[in-house]
Structure 1
C-alpha cells in the first residue's frame, strides 16, 4: 500500500477514528485504525465493537492495499506535522511497518495484520430516511445533557429516539432522563421514518455522531433496526449498536396540571443562578427560588461557606411560592433556551416543574425540586 494525502484531510479522518477507539483495552487490534487504499480513495475504519466509524477521503493512491496502525499514535504524529504538508504513507506488507513521510520527517510505525481487524456485521435496517444535519443536531444537543451516568440503570444511558404522536401529528422525538431532570425534543417526522422502531442511542454514539452534524444543510442518511443505528454522509459512516433495554414511560412524569407561570429572560436567569451558586461548596446544593408578584429572588445559604441572593424582575402573577432546585440542573436547562424567554410552569414546591422556550412546546424540560 502506498498513497499521498494532504495533512488536513488525513487529520480530519484520523481524528474521527481515534476518538472511537478505547484507550484502555485488552485486545491490541482495537487500538488500531484499519487503513484501506483503493482507486482514488482511502478509508479509515475504527471500532470498539459497539461503534464503528468509516471515514472515506480522496488521496493519490500509487499502490492499493490495507493495514492497521495505532490510531492514537498516527493522530499525534499528523497533528504535530506542519500545516499544508503532503504526507506519504507506505506499507511494504512484509516487515509489519508503516512508513509516514512528510518533508524531512520520517516515522516507522508497527502494524498489525488487517485480517485481525473486526468489521461490524451489517444489519438489516427496517427504516431508512434522511434528515438535515441541523434537525438532528437540535434533537440530540438539547436532550443529551439529561442522559444518566448511572450504570445500574443502563437503559437511561442514552437518548431514546422514536416516532410519537403530538398535537400536530407524528413527530421524530428524542428523550433523555436521569430521574432528576428530563428533556423531550420534537422535530417534524422525516419522510420514510413512520415505521422506525424506537431505539436508545448510547451516550458515546451521540457524542461521536455529533461530529457529523456541523454543516447545517448536510443531508444525513439514517438507518435504524432493532439492534443498530447508522448515520451516514458521503464521506463518513457511523454505525452503532443500540442499548438493549426498554426506556421507561416518560409521559407519566411530564406534568400537565402546572398552572403557576413564570416568564424570565433565559440568559439573565442563567447568569444569576451561576452567580449565587458560587458560594455553594457543593454544586448539588439547592438554589432557592422565592416568587412573588413580578419578582424572583434567587438565594443560596451554605453554612460552611456563606450565603448569596439576587433579585430579578420577572413576569409572575400567581400566589407566592418558594421552591428549591439543584443549581447545576437549573443551569443546564436554562442554557438550552435559544429564544429570549424561558417559561417555567410550577404546581407546588414538591412537584416537578416544567420549562419551555416561550410558547414553543417542541422542546420541553422537566426538573425535580429539592428541599430547601
Structure 2
C-alpha cells in the first residue's frame, strides 16, 4: 500500500477513528485503525466491538492495499505535522512497518495484519430513512444530559430512540432519564421511519454521533434494526450495537395535572440559580424556590458555608409555593432552552415538576423535587 493525502483531510479522518478506540485494550488489534486504500479513496476503520466507525477520504493511491496501525499514535503524529503538509503512507508488509512521511519528518510504525481486524457483521435493517443533521442534533443534544451513569441500570445508559404518538400524529422521539430528571424531545417523523423498532442508543455512540451532525446542510442516512443502528454521511459511517434491555414506561412519570404555571426568562433564571448555588454544599446542592405573585425567590442555606438569596420577576398568579431542587439539575434543564422563556408547571412540593420552552411542547423536561 502506498498513498499520499493532505494533512487536514487525514487528520479529520483519523480523529473520528481514534476517538472510538478504547485507551485500555486487552486485545492489541482493537488499539489499531484499519487503513484500506483503493482507487482514489482511503478508508479508516476503528472499532471497540460495540461501535464501528468508517471514515472515507480522497487520496492519491499509488498502490492499493490495507494494514492496521496504532490509531492514537497515528493521530498524534498527524496532529503535530505542519498545516498544509502532504503526507505519504507506505506499507512494508515484509517488515511489518508503516512509513509516515511529510516534508523532512519520517516515522515508522509497527503494524498488525489486516486479517486480525474484527469487522462488524452486516445486518438486515428494519427501517431506513434520511434525516437532516440539525433535527438529529436537536433530538440527541437536548436529551443526552439526562442519561444515567449508573452502570447497574444499564437500560438507562443511553437515549431511547423510537417512534411515538405526538399531539398531531406520529413523531420521532428521543427520551433519556436517570430517575431524577427526564428529557423527552420530538421531531417530525421522516418518511420510511414508521417501521423503526425502538432502540436504546448507548452514551458513547451519542457522543460519537455528535461529530457527524455539525454540518447544517447534511442529510444523515439512518438505518435501524433490533440490535444495531447506523448513521451515515457520504464520508463517514457510524455503526453501533444498541443496549440490550427494555426502556421503562417513561409516560407514567410525565405529570399531566400540573396547573401552577410560572414563566421566567430562561437565561436570567439559569444565571440566578448558578449564583445562589455557589454557597451550597457540593453533596446536595439544594436550591429553594419560593413563589408568590409574579415573584420568585431563589435561596440556598448551607450551614457550613453561608447562605444566598436572589429575587427574580416572573409571571406567576397561583397560590404561594415552596419547592426545592438539585441546582445541577435545574441548571442543566435551563441550559436546554433555546427560546427566551422557560415555563415551569408545578403541582406540589413533593410531586415532579414539568418544564417546557414557551408554548412549545416538542421538548419537555421533568425534574424531581428535593426536600429543603
TM value normalised by structure 2:
1.00
Assess if the C-alpha contact under 8 Å between 1:283 and 1:327 holds in 2: no
Structure 2 residue aligned with 1:32: 32
Shift in Å, 1:159: 0.2
Which 4+ residue blocks in structure 1 deviate beyond 4 angstroms? none
Shift in Å, 1:281: 2.6
Structure 1 residue aligned with 2:135: 135
Which whole-Å CA distance do the structure 1 matches of 2:99 and 2:337 have between them?
50
Which whole-Å CA distance do the structure 2 matches of 1:167 and 1:271 have between them?
32
Structure 2 residue aligned with 1:52: 52
Shift in Å, 1:284: 3.2
Shift in Å, 1:75: 0.3
SS of the residue aligned with 1:319? coil
Match status 1:329 vs 2:329: yes
Which whole-Å CA distance do the structure 2 matches of 1:323 and 1:316 have between them?
14
Shift in Å, 1:343: 0.1
Shift in Å, 1:283: 5.6
Which whole-Å CA distance do the structure 2 matches of 1:329 and 1:117 have between them?
42
Structure 1 residue aligned with 2:282: 282
Which whole-Å CA distance do the structure 2 matches of 1:75 and 1:167 have between them?
47
Structure 1 residue aligned with 2:360: 360
Q: Which residues of 2 match residues 1-372 of structure 1 at below 5 A?
A: 1-282=1-282, 284-372=284-372
Which whole-Å CA distance do the structure 1 matches of 2:198 and 2:135 have between them?
18
Question: Structure 1, residues 216-235: CA drift from partner, whole Å, max 9, x if none?
Answer: 12100000000000000000
Shift in Å, 1:166: 1.3
Assess if the C-alpha contact under 8 Å between 1:277 and 1:283 holds in 2: no
Which whole-Å CA distance do the structure 1 matches of 2:275 and 2:82 have between them?
43
Which whole-Å CA distance do the structure 2 matches of 1:283 and 1:39 have between them?
58
Residues matched between the structures, number: 372
Question: Structure 1, residues 283-328: CA drift from partner, whole Å, max 9, x if none?
Answer: 6321000000000000001111111010000000000000000000
Assess if the C-alpha contact under 8 Å between 1:273 and 1:287 holds in 2: yes
Where does the alignment leave 5 or more consecutive residues of structure 1 unmatched?
A: none
Question: Structure 1, residues 311-359: CA drift from partner, whole Å, max 9, x if none?
Answer: 0000000000000000000000000000000000000000000000000
Question: Structure 1, residues 205-263: CA drift from partner, whole Å, max 9, x if none?
Answer: 00001100001121000000000000000000000000000000000000000000000
Assess if the C-alpha contact under 8 Å between 1:227 and 1:244 holds in 2: yes
Question: Structure 1, residues 140-190: CA drift from partner, whole Å, max 9, x if none?
Answer: 000000000000000000000000011100000000000000000000000
Which whole-Å CA distance do the structure 2 matches of 1:283 and 1:312 have between them?
26
Assess if the C-alpha contact under 8 Å between 1:351 and 1:368 holds in 2: yes
TM value normalised by structure 1:
1.00
Which whole-Å CA distance do the structure 2 matches of 1:5 and 1:36 have between them?
13
SS of the residue aligned with 2:332? helix
Where does the alignment leave 5 or more consecutive residues of structure 2 unmatched?
A: none
Which whole-Å CA distance do the structure 2 matches of 1:107 and 1:283 have between them?
49
Which whole-Å CA distance do the structure 1 matches of 2:255 and 2:145 have between them?
20
Which whole-Å CA distance do the structure 2 matches of 1:184 and 1:47 have between them?
30
Which whole-Å CA distance do the structure 2 matches of 1:260 and 1:133 have between them?
36
